[in-house]
Chains A and B, each alone.
Chain A
């Protein structure tokens, strides 16, 4: 079976404007900048987020820098696959592996940043939220192993929308202070738990259906 990790199933609500943006940005990428450079840039963005979050402890305006890192990671993540396909770099499996592993690193960096910013007493909540968010990624990879369909957007929500949520959260913290974020944490946890349940339940049902279909329609004996 051919590897299809580079083909994504399921469209997020921002898919169409995202494709338009990709078409606009692709010609601007210099020749010397390759797909692997763009992928590995996430390491830099991820490293800077905890640093800026630490600075934000003394002045919340540093969260704008965190939001900038999120926006830059979005652009490099958006373009790395497209550049690879356009220039026929051929790094399909490396790109799949490194890109998604670094997405996880980036998610951890954002949550570590919040853990640095918020009082120590709220780290447990952030740990639970991290576990829930990581659950979505684990679901995607396990389901890909079973179906060879790589889906990262569920119910119209994908990584782009989540990035926008993080930028909105940073903006709200900058404008309204940390207290509101602390209040919102249990609700975020409950909602992400419910979303994960919906995702896992649907994936489970689909895999059950596929298993039953395979069982009832066995391949002809050679």
Chain B
């Protein structure tokens, strides 16, 4: 008598499982499994809806289920979103920043800022070398690997300083603000490299497979990973939340960073403005790739 209840529950569970696989859609096995789960879910939900018109009890089933479970679903979604945001902005896990003494941390900030400045100086020439070499046809392997190296170096700084919130703002405001600036600036520069690669792939789609190819020590799929990261919630939250937070702690940024700060803020504003198109490109890119995979 209540078969439709169990069918409905199983259908919803399969739909949730199928949707949970969406981050892995690039893998053919995951795509096949997700499709299978969603088709099974659609069949079960379809069978349920066919039964839901005979008796008064059946007709009110969906409405009643919604009334009972909607508040739980709403709170669960809100909590899941809050958890995701907190994991990005205040990631758990041990960080060396929290264990260093103030003096050691100050020295580390100075050396890492010098490293960031050196990387920033190198970035325009690496990008122009890549584009110049690419304009002569083919994929410039050496220039591409140099660009990947630069991206990785920025990535190391982002990883180191993503735990900047563990540096106590009350006792060490300058160190806290300095760590924020280094991490955020490195993130912006990673985004700049990704934007360049995305624009290049858009203009020269035939080069994509070479850029995504396997390189010893670098792995494969680097270009696609960069494009995906442009619109990822991690990057976007870091940039926008970091920009908002910077306005609060800008007065505490160490004096040594002072000269570079206006340029950094201009760059940050530009990155915030371009975040819409970046997100759109990073979303349409994998969709296009999926279409290419499916079409003969």
Contact = CB atoms under 8 A, between A and B. Distances in A.
7 contacts: A179-B93, A190-B80, A194-B75, A197-B72, A197-B75, A198-B72, A201-B72
A194 B166 contact: no
B222 to A, nearest CB: 27
A179 B94 contact: yes
Interface in B93-109: 93-94, 98-99
A122 B95 CA distance: 12
Contact of B98 (A121, A125, A183, A185): A121
A125 B98 CA distance: 16
A122 B76 contact: no
B116 to A, nearest CB: 25
A198 B74 CA distance: 12
A90 to B, nearest CB: 43
Contacts, number: 34
Given A122-B92, A194-B79, 20 more contacts: A119-B99, A120-B98, A121-B98, A121-B166, A179-B93, A179-B94, A182-B92, A182-B93, A183-B92, A183-B93, A186-B83, A186-B86, A186-B87, A187-B83, A190-B79, A190-B82, A194-B76, A197-B75, A198-B72, A201-B71
Looking at chain A's contact residues, the main secondary structure is helix
A106 B230 CA distance: 48
Contacts of B75: 194, 197
A193 interface: yes
A80 B23 CA distance: 52
Contacts of A187: 83
**Which 5 pairs of residues, A with B, have the shortest CB-CB distance?**
A190-B83, A121-B166, A121-B98, A197-B75, A190-B79
Contacts of B98: 119-121
Contacts of B80: 190
A125 B92 contact: yes
Contacts of B92: 122, 125, 182-183, 185-186
Contacts of B94: 119, 179, 182
Interface in A181-219: 182-183, 185-187, 190, 193-194, 197-198, 201
B79 A193 contact: yes
A122 B163 CA distance: 12
A117 to B, nearest CB: 13
B160 to A, nearest CB: 16
A85 to B, nearest CB: 38
Contacts of A185: 92
Interface of B: 71-72, 75-76, 79-80, 82-83, 86-87, 92-94, 98-99, 166
Nearest to A201: B71
Contacts of B79: 190, 193-194
B272 to A, nearest CB: 27
A185 B91 CA distance: 11
B162 to A, nearest CB: 14
A132 to B, nearest CB: 12
Interface in A40-70: none
A201 B72 CA distance: 9
B97 to A, nearest CB: 10
A119 B80 CA distance: 26
A180 to B, nearest CB: 10
Contacts of A119: 94, 98-99
A4 to B, nearest CB: 29
A178 to B, nearest CB: 8
Contacts of A122: 92
A80 B265 CA distance: 65
Nearest to B98: A121
Contacts of A190: 79-80, 82-83
A185 B83 CA distance: 11
Contacts of A197: 72, 75
A127 to B, nearest CB: 14
B69 to A, nearest CB: 11
A157 to B, nearest CB: 16
A121 B79 CA distance: 22
A187 B84 CA distance: 10
B170 to A, nearest CB: 14
Contacts of B71: 201
Nearest to B97: A121
A207 to B, nearest CB: 16
A121 B75 CA distance: 28
A194 B166 CA distance: 26
Nearest to A187: B83
Nearest to A198: B72
Nearest to A178: B94
B108 to A, nearest CB: 17
Interface in A116-156: 119-122, 125
